[in-house]
Chain A
Amino acid sequence: MAQMTMIQAITDAMRTELRNDPNVLVFGEDVGVNGGVFRATEGLQNEFGEDRVFDTPLAESGIGGLAVGLSLQGFRPVPEIQFFGFVFEVMDSIAGQLARLRYRSGGRYTAPVTIRSPFGGGVHTPDMHADSLEGLMAQTPGVKVVIPSTPYDAKGLLISSIRDNDTVIFLEHMKLYRSFRQEVPEEEYTIPLGKADVKREGKDISIITYGAMVHESLKAAEELEKEGYSAEVIDLRTVSPLDIETIVASVEKTGRAIVVQEAQKQAGIAATVVAEINDRAILSLEAPVLRVAAPDTVFPFPQAETVWLPNYKDVIETAKKVLTY
Chain B
Amino acid sequence: MASKTKLTPADVVAHLAKIEDQFETLQILNEEGEVVNESAMPNLSNEQLQELMRRMVYTRILDQRSISLNRQGRLGFYAPTAGQEASQLASQFALEQEDFILPGYRDVPQIIWHGLPLYQAFLWSRGHFEGMKVPEGVNVLHPQIIIGAQYVQTTGVALGMKKRGTKAVAVTYTGDGGSSQGDFYEGINFAGAYKAPAIFFIQNNKFAISTPVEKQTAAKTLAQKAVSAGIPGIQVDGMDPLAVYVATRDARERAINGEGPTLIETLTYRYGPHTMAGDDPTRYRTADLDNEWEKKDPLVRFRKFLEKKGLWNEEQESEVIEQAKDDIKEAIKKADAAPKQKVTDLMSIMYEEEMPQNLKEQYELYKAKESK
Contacts and interface: CB of A to CB of B under 8 A. Distances in A.
A80 to B, nearest CB: 15
Interface residues of A, number: 44
Nearest to A60: B186
A187 B167 CA distance: 38
B155 A69 contact: yes
A102 B155 CA distance: 20
A62 interface: yes
A164 interface: yes
Contacts of B350: 102-103, 141-142
B286 interface: no
Given A69-B157, A97-B149, A102 B190 contact: no
Interface string A123-142: 00000000000000000011
Contact of B141 (A65, A66, A109, A166): A109
Interface string B172-184: 0000000000110
Interface string A240-277: 01111100000000000000000000000000000000
A217 B367 CA distance: 40
B152 A194 contact: no
Contacts of A93: 149, 152
B187 A65 contact: yes
B149 A66 contact: no
A64 B153 CA distance: 8
Interface residues of B, number: 42
A166 B349 CA distance: 11
Nearest to A165: B352
A159 B189 CA distance: 32
Interface string A55-82: 0110101101111111111110000000
Given A72-B100, A72-B141, A106-B130, 14 more contacts: A62-B189, A64-B152, A65-B156, A66-B152, A69-B157, A69-B158, A70-B159, A70-B160, A71-B156, A73-B157, A73-B160, A105-B134, A142-B350, A244-B357
Interface of A: 25, 51, 56-57, 59, 61-62, 64-75, 92-93, 96-97, 102-110, 141-142, 144, 164-166, 194, 241-245
14 contacts: A62-B186, A64-B152, A65-B152, A71-B156, A92-B146, A106-B133, A108-B132, A109-B141, A142-B350, A165-B351, A165-B353, A166-B352, A243-B357, A244-B358
